[in-house]
Amino acid sequence: MQKRKFLLQQKIIAQNIMNLTDARYFAAWGVDYISFNTIGDSEFFINDASIREIKDWVEGPQCLLEANALEFEDVADGFILSNIYSSLPIVKETFFRISFDDIVKGLPDGKYISPINKEQIDQLESIDYQHLHLYFDISELEPTDVLRLGNFGIVVQGGEEEKVGLKSYEELDELYELLLDNED
C-alpha cells in the first residue's frame, strides 16, 4: 500500500477545539492552527486550564485563542478577534472575524476569517484580495464546493464528543480525502 502524505498544502484552521480527541485528530491532518474559544458566553467555551492540558498532548499546529481581548498570551501563539483593533499593539499573529460583505467593500492588509456560501465563491473572482490572507469558514459548503476555493485558507469545525474519546469524523474524513486527492 502506498504511504499517503499527511500534510496539506492548503492553510487550515481547526476552530472551536474543546477536547483532546479533536486536537489530536486535526494535528494528524497537519492543520496549521488549532483554535480554542475563550469567549465566556460561547457554546464552544473552553477554560485556560483545559487549553493548557490539551496543548501538552498535541504537537504541530500553532495555538490560536478566539477572544474578545488579548488575554492568556502565554498559552497562545496568536488570536482570533471579532473586531479589527487598529490602535492595539498586536505582537502575535492575529486573525479578524469579518463578514463576506467586508471583503467585498475592501479591507486593509491582514488575516481574516469569513463565512462563505456557494454563491459567494463565484464573487471571489471580481474582488481584489491580493494583500489579504483570507480563510473561509466552510461549514455551509459541501466538501466538493471547498475545492472551488483554490488556495484560500479554510476553517473547519471542532466540537463536543459523543462521549469521552469518541467522535464521528465521517464528513471531515471525506473532506480530507478530497483535499489530498486534489493535491496529487
Segment 105-145, tens digit of pLDDT = 888 888 999 999 999 998 888 887 778 899 999 999 998 89
Contacts of 106 (CB under 8 A, 6+ apart): 128
Output the pLDDT for position 1. Answer: 29
* DSSP3 helix / strand / coil % (the chain, rounded to 5): 30, 25, 45
How many other C-beta atoms can be found within 10 angstroms of the C-beta atom of residue 116? 26
Output the pLDDT for position 8. Answer: 60
CA angle 130, 155, 49 (to 5 degrees): 125
Output the pLDDT for position 93. Answer: 87
CATH number of the 12-183 domain: 3.20.20.70
Output the pLDDT for position 34. Answer: 96
Q: Are 78 and 98 in contact (CB under 8 A)?
A: no
Q: What is the pTM of this model?
A: 0.87
Can you name the residues that pair with 34 across neighbouring β-strands? 14, 63
Output the pLDDT for position 3. Answer: 33
Residues of the chain predicted below pLDDT 70 = 1-8, 70-73, 84-90, 166, 184
Q: Tell me the pLDDT of the chain averaged across its residues.
A: 85
138/136 Cα distance (integer angstroms): 6
Output the pLDDT for position 130. Answer: 79
145/179 Cα distance (integer angstroms): 11
Q: Are 132 and 96 in contact (CB under 8 A)?
A: no
Output the pLDDT for position 184. Answer: 60
